Structure 1
Amino acid sequence: MALLTLGDPATMTGGYLYHRRVADRAAANNAHLEFVSVPDRSFPASVAAGRALLADLARRNPDAILLDSIAAAYIGPWLRAAAPQPTGPTAAPSGAAGRTGGRWRRRARGVAPIVGMLHQPPGGIDHSGMRRWVQKVLDERAYRFASRLLIASEDLADTLRAAGMPADLLTVVAPGRNPADHPVTPATDLRQGRKAAVLSVGNWVERKGLLDLLEAVATLPRDAVTLHLLGDPDIDPTYATRVRARLATPDLAGRVITHGLVTPAEVVGFYRAADVFALASVREPYGTVYGEAMTEGLPVVGWDAGNLPHLARHGIEGFAVPPGDVGALAEALRELAENEPRRHAMAAAAKARSESFPNWDDTARVLFTEIRAVVEETRT
């Protein structure tokens, strides 16, 4: 099968890592997954590349196309129905399009059956204004040609159902909880003489809430926490400038250590060496790093938003505080830094709850089973 994505498949974000981890397990599931990329150019100029890309996919003739949500808009305008479709929501179904009305599950002409892999809602999560509206229209057009939509989280699935996507078109295939098998331990004590080491993993983009997290840490007693930041600081230079300016202020001097991009094995080492995990993200469709941190026995702290409430219960495995309430975020960090018995209890609860999360073998097995079912439906 072909996985249609955008740009470099080696990019270090949750969605790209998801695809590489399931691709690594394709052979174990009697499958082969080949990456095919839309050139990473400015939008919407790059949409023009979608037509040639579809022609290339037709020549490759895979059994199925797995369509990454960040690439959907680029092929949406070029998909055409293979045959006349029913026109109403109650029209009689047929074939692989059988479980939904005429607005959804058309078969695309000239290409293999399409399975969507959604890590974000139509329109994306990092855009606004006209860009978001145009992409939403194009994303939704592409998904109407999908035989199935695989969704990265329950929260995102809820959002899509509420927006009118047929429930029986959606299957949640959550990320695995185990990023690497052989952790690399940090060379130094992460607490740096303070009561607790707080870890945050995420690239420096605005929705990750780094500035809110820094404000919360700045209000704590100086002996409370040392914050460690892992992630790419160069994705959004404008936002990175703001973060660096805040880091340079006297109230954060010596209290925050930045590590930049690290390997998955090093990330696991940091989880194991830290005391608390915090991510003040306002829009996190799944929040893979929350699940990974809980697996390594860390209580988690973040906003009561996105998928975090599906992963951790407030006051049990961590704290999910009202979005934007920096005071509540700081209080949660203070409680975990100063109340060691409660921190240990939450850590144990987080690890126990994580046992119900899938590992990457589970994720790959479900994903390839779903795709294989679509292929078999198409052939009958």
Structure 2
Amino acid sequence: MTGGYLYHRRVADRAAANDARLDFVSVPTWPFPLPVAAGPRLLRELTEKRPDAILLDSIAAAFVGPWLPRKNLPPLVGMLHQPPGGIDYDGLRRYAQKLLDQRAYRFASRLLIASDDLAETLRRSGMPADLLRVVPPGRNPADDPVPPDGDLRRGRRAAVLSVGNWVERKGLLDLLEAVAVLPPDAVTLHLVGDPDVDPDYAARVRVRLKEPDLDGRVVVHGLKTPAEVVGFYRAADVFALASVREPYGTVYGEAMAAGLPVVGWNAGNLPHLARDGVEGFAVPPGDREALAEALRTLAFDDAARERMAAAASTRSESFPNWDDTARVLFTEIRAVVEETRT
């Protein structure tokens, strides 16, 4: 429901409007590096489908990289939502995946990048700048919002929404610590996202939620549909995500489009979306006191919150919607196909 998965679903929904069709071939959900063994079968299946081009997502690149080049394959276009090696792994896994990802991208005719921040990272790493095209996600996750039940403030000054799966890089424990030191009447924090992606991390979060200083301050909603997520955006006062590595930060853009000031670390792509003190607060990574102070300001200073909310809404108008994203993506793929045929 989030990130690159939602990106491709939204683009596929708009393929016909762009005189195109997007079919999916999936990598087996085996533990790393076992899916590498499925690479030859995947490439054979792709060849048999006879597509005009292959759009290779960054989650799957490592698993076909060792088997490239291959005869009779159409042009390859990379779609990068993360840098080579990914963003959720460390150590040997990250090192091995980085090598495999880089090998796959060497055979790409174009690399479509989800954010300016990620594109800058790739240029600095030595990827050819002339192959890179930034195609950011849309700001509109759903057209028909489903509102949540009741007042999200729950008697407090502000309702803070955080949307993200419970994985360590999303910084949920940092956000909980920031909320815990606020005055009891400051904020009610609402968590939307899958709590079961990383069971070990989720266990730590659940232990923290049971501490007395968070009693009644945090509401866990779990997975929600895109329409329900939009309903939460529209019912909240502030959006917060303390993510340390967010290649684009789709949820920041969605929240700003709903008129929410955003709070997060001054890291990843957030500085490209929101200016500190204008559309919200981008505080030094790891500074929980600064994170808490940003939330405190937005909870108790109504004028500042309203000013930043208006600025966030205005800034979001420069972000693409999903129709824009799909049009650019299929235009880039079509250009690659035409270049290959000439």
1:63 is aligned, of 41, 47, 52, to: 52
Q: How does 1:1-380 map to 2 (within 5 A)?
A: 12-80=1-69, 108-380=70-342
In 2, Cα distance between equivalents of 1:364 and 1:56:
25
Aligned partners of 2:331, 2:214: CA distance in 1, in Å?
49
Q: TM-score, normalised by structure 1?
A: 0.90
- Partners of 1:303 and 1:139 lie apart in 2 by 27
Q: Which amino acid aligns with 1:350?
A: A
Q: Which runs of 4+ in 1 moved over 6 A?
A: none
Question: How many Å separate the matches in 2 of 1:43 and 1:333?
Answer: 39
The 3-state SS of whatever aligns with 1:286 is: coil
Over alpha carbons, which structure has the higher Rg? Answer: 1
Aligned mates of 2:153, 2:71 — CA distance in 1? 58
Query: 1:111 deviation in Å?
Result: 0.8
Q: CA deviation at 1:47?
A: 0.5
**How many angstroms does 1:46 deviate by?**
1.4
Question: What is the CA–CA distance in structure 2 between the aligned matches of 1:148 and 1:40, rounded to whole Å?
Answer: 26
Structure 2 Cα separation of the partners of residues 195 and 70 of structure 1: 41
Q: Per the alignment, in what secondary structure is the counterpart of residue 73 of structure 1?
A: helix
Distance in 1 (alpha carbons) for counterparts of 2:71 and 2:121 = 29
Deviations 1:265-313 (A, max 9, x none): 0100100000000000000000000000000000000000000000000
Instruction: Tell me the alpha carbon deviations over residues 207-244 of structure 1, each in whole angstroms, 9 at most, x when there is no partner.
Output: 00000000000000000000000000000000000000
In the alignment, residue 26 of structure 2 is paired with which amino acid?
S
Q: 1:301 & 1:46 partners in 2: Cα distance? A: 37
Shift, 1:109, TM fit = 2.6
Cα distance in structure 2, aligned partners of 1:234 and 1:49: 27
Structure 1 residue identity aligned to 2:10:
R
Q: Which runs of 5+ in 2 are unaligned?
A: none
1:91 — aligned with what? none
Matched residues in 2 for 1:152 and 1:109: separation?
A: 29
Aligned partners of 1:377, 1:229: CA distance in 2, in Å?
A: 46
Q: Which amino acid aligns with 1:142?
A: A
Q: Let me know the Cα RMSD of the aligned residues.
A: 0.5
Q: Residues of 2 paired with 1:109 and 1:70: CA distance? A: 23
The letter for the 2-side match of 1:26 is: A
Q: Deviation string for 1:184-203 (max 9, x for gaps)?
A: 11111000000000000000
Instruction: Give per-residue Cα distances to partners, 1:124-164, cap 9 Å, x unaligned.
Output: 00011011001000000000000000000000000000000
Gap regions ≥5 residues in structure 1: 1-11, 81-107
* Equivalent residue letter for 1:280: A
Quote how far apart the aligned CAs of 1:13 are: 2.7
Between the two proteins, what is the percent identity of the paired residues? 78
1:369 CA displacement: 0.1
